[in-house]
Amino acid sequence: MSHTFTLDGKTIPFEDGQTIIQAASKAGVFIPHLCYHPEFKPHGSCKLCTVKVNGRQTASCTMRASAGMVVENNTEELNAERRALTQMLFVEGNHFCPSCETSGNCQLQATAYHLGMMSPHYDHFFPSRPVDASHPEVLLDFNRCILCSLCVRASRDVDGKNVFALSGRGIKTHLIVNARSGNLADTNFTLKDKAAQVCPVGVILVKRNGFAVPIGERRYDNVPIGDSLETATEGR
């Protein structure tokens, strides 16, 4: 059965069981997000997709749509809060875009552009996060990890491998790989894994592929995130 709710005043149809972000995407309305990916079980951790439902804030990727809901999305208040979350992610890790192979294809960066983030605002944490270059085909640069857990879900739910997981707690939460050595080379990870395709930032990088497309001509250099919904949700 089909019902509707309103999103910034626009009527959005939805089907039973759909979340707000699913219904919005289908109707062509962009809600900023980082840990959400249409192919995976919603996680609800980045909180970028927070909307106001009947005046109360909630993550639109985990909240099921229901008939008659009044949802606010593209408001100055919400975008300011989303911008602050983006700034938090930038200072939490080491995000040096000019030296990042994902620059221009990065969902975090594109979302920050979308939200008009002119500076990271907060003091940087400058954490020490060694890279893992052990794997012959893939480099892991943990400096850019935003803990969205998309690779965790892809490896577990699609690849059936559990190559990745989050460990630690709080600000010390970090990505680990499935090997006693802690090295990706000692896992059964391959380039063909779904987990190799889903990183929204520049952690999981294919080696010897650097700068094949020059900076300035990449995905979000051409089309801003949110302008094309496939762009917004597909990952790289």
Partner 1 sequence: MALSEMHAEAVAGIVDRVATRYKRDPVNMLQILREVQEACDWLPPEAIDRLQTVLGVPRTKIEGVAGFYSFLYTEPRGKYRILFSDNIIDRMAGSQPLIERLCENLWIEPGKTSEDGLVSVDVTSCTGMCDQGPALLVNNRAITRLTATRIDEIAELVRNKTPLSEWPADFFKVEDHVRMADIMLGSTMQPGDGLRAARERTPSDGYMASNMRSWREGLPSGISGPSAMLDEIKRANLRGRGGAGFATGLKWEACRNAQMKPGQQRFVVCNADEGEPGTFKDRVLLTAHADLVFEGMTVAAYTIGARRGFLYLRGEYHYLLEPLNAILERRRKENMLGNDILGIPGADFEIEIHLGAGAYVCGEESALIESLEGKRGTPRNRPPFPVTNGYLDQPTIVNNVETFAAAALIALNGGDWYAAIGTKHSAGTKILSVSGDCERPGVYEYPFGVSIRQVLEDCGAKDTQAVQVSGPSGICVGVDEFDRTIGFEDIPTAGAFMMFDQTRDMFEVARNFVHFFQHESCGFCTPCRVGTSLLKNLMDKLHNGHGSPYDFAEIEKLNQLLQAMSHCGLGHTACNPVLDTIAKFRPAYDQRMEHDEFKPAFDLDRALSEARQMTRRDDPGAHITGHNVALGEEA
Partner 2 sequence: MNAPVKKKLKVATTSLAGCFGCHMSFLDIDERLFTLLEHIEFDRSPLTDIKEVHPECDIGIIEGGLCNAENVHVLRDFRKNCKILIAIGACAINGGLPAQRNHLPLSAILEEVYHTSPGLSNGLIPNDPELPLPLNQVHPLHEVVKIDYFIPGCPPSGDAIWKVLTDLLAGREPELGHGLMHYD
Q: What is the DSSP letter of 85?
A: H
Residue 112 binds partner 2 (CB under 8 A): yes
Q: Measure the CA dihedral 107/109/112/114, to 10°.
A: -60
Residue 217 binds partner 1 (CB under 8 A): no
Residue 185 binds partner 2 (CB under 8 A): no
Task: For residue 198, give every residue at least 6 positions away whose Cβ sits within 8 Å of its Cβ, in sequence order, or none.
Answer: 37, 40, 150, 151, 154, 204, 235
Site residues for partner 1, 6-45, by CB under 8 A, read 42, 44-45
Report d(CA 3, CA 15) in Å as an integer. Answer: 7
Q: How many residues bind partner 2 (CB under 8 A)?
A: 28
Contact track, partner 2, 26-55, x by CB under 8 A: ------------------------------
Length of the chain: 236
Contact pick of 7, 71, 89, 204 for partner 1 (by CB under 8 A): 89
CB of 133 to partner 2, least distance (A): 16
Residue 130 binds partner 1 (CB under 8 A): no
14's enclosing H/E stretch is strand 10-15
The partner in contact with residue 112, picked from partner 1, partner 2, none with C-beta cut-offs of 5 to 8 angstroms by kind, is partner 2
The partner in contact with residue 128, picked from partner 1, partner 2, none with C-beta cut-offs of 5 to 8 angstroms by kind, is partner 2
Task: Specify whether the backbone of 235 is left (phi greater than 0), alpha (psi in -120 to 50) or beta.
Answer: left
